[in-house]
Structure 1
């Protein structure tokens, strides 16, 4: 879906929640192959059985990339991703966990690029128990409707 929103159209505190997606063993193996991260916590079930969690843990970068993809359901031609800050892996995600993503418009900031401002969006990945497993801030460079006016 394409929705044109200028910086002035964003409402601080507005929240969105995605539908769920279950993390599978195939997701973990494919991610390990793509990244080269074959750390035993992710791929060695026998070894993991001897560890505190007793099972394999999805890569934090897998949960991050799937979560960000899930949250990217709207295309705004007036906005582009500027990056991510404060990324934290808070709880493990296991094979069979179903994640959802909650995004909240957190802050509007000035930006040095003329005609643009910065939207800071809090991204929280939740498991099926509504526990936050990952959190970060997604920074969006967003075009202003009225250049020169502060956010």
Structure 2
């Protein structure tokens, strides 16, 4: 869905929640192949039995990619991603966990070089089926102003 949302339209503390997505064995295998990250934490079930979590954990980069991807149901043609800040992995994610994302508009400020644009910060929380936050980060958007 395309929806023009200008800088002035964003409301601080407004929030949206995405649908969920269950992480599968196939996700881990595909991600390992795409990134080259075959660390035993993700791929070796027997070795993981000797570690703290006792089972394989999902790649942090996969958790991040899925969490961000879930937010892509709204496409704003007058905004573009400026990057991500303060990325933290708070809890491990495991095979068969179901994740959803909560996006909160946490900051708005003028762009220091572009007076016709502003920067909007979306605070992203990725949450599992037990209502535990597993990842947080801030997504910065450059957004056109109306005037």
TM-score (norm 2): 0.97
2:81 maps to 1:81: yes
The 5 A counterparts of 1:1-151 are 1-111=1-111, 112-146=113-147
The CA deviation at 1:131 is 0.6
CA deviation vs aligned residue, 1:12-66 (integer Å, no higher than 9, x gap): 0111001111001110111010000011001100100111101000000000001
Instruction: Report the Cα distance in structure 2 between the residues aligned to 1:41 and 1:113, rounded to whole angstroms.
Output: 44
**SS of 1:120's equivalent?**
strand
Gaps of 5+ in 1: 147-151
After superposition, the CA RMSD in angstroms is: 0.6
- The count of aligned residue pairs is 146
Structure 1 stretch displaced more, 105-114 or 134-143: 105-114
Instruction: Report the Cα distance in structure 2 between the residues aligned to 1:17 and 1:5, rounded to whole angstroms.
Output: 17
TM-score (norm 1): 0.95
Gaps of 5+ in 2: none
Match of 1:149?
Answer: none
